[in-house]
Structure 1
Amino acid sequence: MAVPVFRFAPSPNGELHLGHAYSALLNAKLARENGGRFLLRIEDIDITRCRREFEEGIYHDLAWLGLEWEEPVRRQSEHFGEYGKLLERLIAEELVYPAFMSRSEIRAYIADAETRGERWPHDPDGAPLYPGMEKQMSRRERRRRIDRGEAFAWRLDTEAALASVVNPLFWREATSEKLDGTERIDAQVEAWGDVIVARKEIPTSYHLSVVADDALQGVTHVVRGRDLYQATGIQRLLQELFGLPAPIYFHHALVPGPEGRKLSKSLRDSGIRVLREAGATPAEVRGMIGIA
């Protein structure tokens, strides 16, 4: 029987808060209880926001909480070449297209459509779906604009990608933190529209790099916050396109912030470093989130 593999994969674009502590401690706890491995992965593909000082803070905070992880730690920014090869496959199979519209152009296009009475669809996170005008653009025009140096993002042609997949898309979701039962969840991929899978300057995105790394590292159980539940559908589609294995998922409840809203790095909600400097002990922090 394969050894179960769990991972905690934060982005070093701010300080860890109680929600991160809960996810990290839960993954480590489940790995220990199931005789598995616990990995730490640094998801630092956003080279404009991720900083080494935040990464060092992650190591410090997790060690202070009593966690240990396998070395070496995988840092995504060191593997752009690997993600780029996957992107090249999608380009060669014509499953992605360069999207040139800026955010202001997208807003103006949608506003114009809505003034004409069109009800514009939104993704599960509430963002309007991308218009996808470039799918009708000729290869020659796409190449001309790319060679001219225009900014663009590679977007997945979701309709074409779904048409290329033979098997029904679903994932296995654990029904409790004990991971002793799973249910089949049908992936509602169409709801996301044409998501970004890479950018002009960065040959990857969260969705592309996370499925690549989970497969490469042999992750068998993805335990993460409920806010990523719907995004699993897109990741299952990419796994199918690349022929990658699908782990079992468990999306745990989020630790609520002030007034019940989601905790935020930008607002420094319940930061681990802040709590530590205020005199809290690791045991007290564990008690705050209910993991003894």
Structure 2
Amino acid sequence: MPYQEEQSVEPTSIREGKPFSKTHTNEIVRNFKRDGFVLIPGVLKLDEIEAVRAKVDELFEPPRLAKLTQSGHKGSNAFIIWHLNELDRIFCDMLVREPIYSLMEAIFGPGFQQCGNQVLRNGRDQSIDLWHVDNALWFPLPEDVPRHDPRIEMPIFWLTVQIALSDIGTIDHGPSQYVPVSHYSGRQPPKTGTPEFEGRGPVSILCKAGDIYLHNSQCWHRGTPNRSGKLRYLLQQQYGQAWAFRRYNAYINQKMPEHLLEGASQLLLDVLGSFRFNPEDWYR
């Protein structure tokens, strides 16, 4: 069900920002492709952080949250709100905030698009703390092949820009953790214990509000429990390659003539895709 409110669109606190130098951009992209994640400090200014965080708090107020539950923006997870770009202009402006935009263009090339936008506002002990890769393992290997060749640059179909809106400076604040280079493993993370890949264990992303970090969905990762007693705010923005949108967008809003569906089997209806689906709905 579409969520709509009558409201005027006013300028937000989000700046245009500036791209990094070509040299710095290339260094960030190189480290990201090598390790599966990379921290980029000091991107947002204080007034931007406060404005986005205030808007997030507004969305979590009970009357608003009830409407968002009805519209599908709030699922079963108590601390996540989805499809933020449909809810307020401030989240739209964040999608093109530099240097985020130019970093995405450096990774995906011209024509990339946004493909997800959500926020996590974690209270005490709230987290997604199981080790996982997002959605599915794209490039699995047989047991007798230990890993992908390091000379290969692993393809990235989509990624997440993680934007800290609160300080996540200690393990008690619930930082994200990654196992470096594990996107080259060709495997899911182990179901028990602390994962390692080629002798390297988890790295915690300790950061300040306004820092961002890039996240390869195929790198083994998790969110650690927030034990700080304070709310943890993490804005997430997903972007993907241009070809995927050109291939699939024509079908997302497709409306089949009703007479062609008379007597259709459920199998045919499933293949035609008679529902609205966005990538992050996978986690509901």
For the aligned pair, the TM-score class normalised by the smaller chain equals under 0.3
Identify the structure with the greater helix proportion.
1
Higher relative contact order (CA 8 A, sep 6+): 2
TM-score, normalised on structure 1?
0.26
